[in-house]
């Protein structure tokens, strides 16, 4: 079980604190924002099924029907004809991703974006790590309705593994 660390406890263990903020189902969330009729429907985010595109993201409903990322889009649509293939979301996704970066800038002067849905921050010298991570999660959920997991560690690699290896809502501190 995780427990709250006092700032002095963390400082004694490491002189650096990094956070990885990973946004779960980012493109599906984007598709549903643009088209609320997709709520509750099996959604496929992927390339053109006529041009050998691949599935890059799925809604929980599509996952429950046995589809998986990496499969050919035409195979996914054949196995699940009721699924909806979302249209190009690039512009809207970049805009939302930019909004996330703007919020994260309030927590750290050092924010690095890795793709549309993953951000690294240096939080060294801030408040208690778990409190910082929870505040970031709550802010992104409240302002942008995004489900995130947060990994906190003394280096970016471990923070990233901690964030990506968890379900949405997870907050993991690796000491």
Average pLDDT in the 155-162 region? 95
Q: What is the pLDDT of residue 95?
A: 92
What strands lie across the sheet with 55-58, from one edge to the other? 55-58, 43-46, 84-85
**In the predicted structure, residue 17 carries a pLDDT above the cut 70:** yes
Distance CA 162, CA 174 (A): 7
Q: Phi, psi (5° rounding) for residue 121? A: -130, 145
In the prediction, which pLDDT does 48 show? 80
Q: What is the CA radius of gyration of the chain?
A: 18
pLDDT in tens, 51-102: 788 999 999 999 999 999 999 999 999 999 999 999 778 888 899 999 999 9
Alpha-carbon torsion angle 27, 33, 38, 41, nearest 10 = 50
Task: List pLDDT tens digits, range 101-121.
Answer: 999 999 999 999 998 899 999
Low-confidence winner among 2-16, 127-141, 150-164 (lowest mean pLDDT) = 2-16
């Amino acid at each position: 079980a995780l427990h709250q660390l006092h700032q002095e406890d963390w400082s004694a263990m490491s002189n650096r604190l990094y956070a990885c903020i990973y946004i779960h189902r980012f493109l599906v969330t984007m598709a549903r924002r643009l088209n609320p009729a997709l709520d509750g429907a099996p959604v496929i985010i992927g390339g053109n099924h006529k041009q050998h595109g691949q599935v890059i993201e799925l809604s929980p409903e599509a996952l429950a029907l046995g589809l998986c990322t990496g499969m050919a889009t035409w195979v996914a649509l054949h196995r699940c004809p009721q699924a909806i293939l979302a249209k190009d979301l690039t512009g809207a996704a970049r805009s939302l991703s930019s909004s996330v970066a703007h919020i994260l800038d309030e927590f750290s002067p050092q924010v690095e974006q890795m793709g549309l849905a993953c951000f690294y921050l240096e939080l060294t010298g801030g408040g208690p790590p778990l409190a910082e991570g929870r505040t970031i999660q709550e802010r992104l959920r409240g302002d942008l309705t995004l489900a995130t997991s947060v990994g906190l560690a003394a280096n970016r690699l471990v923070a990233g593994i901690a964030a990506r290896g968890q379900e949405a809502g997870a907050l993991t501190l690796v000491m």
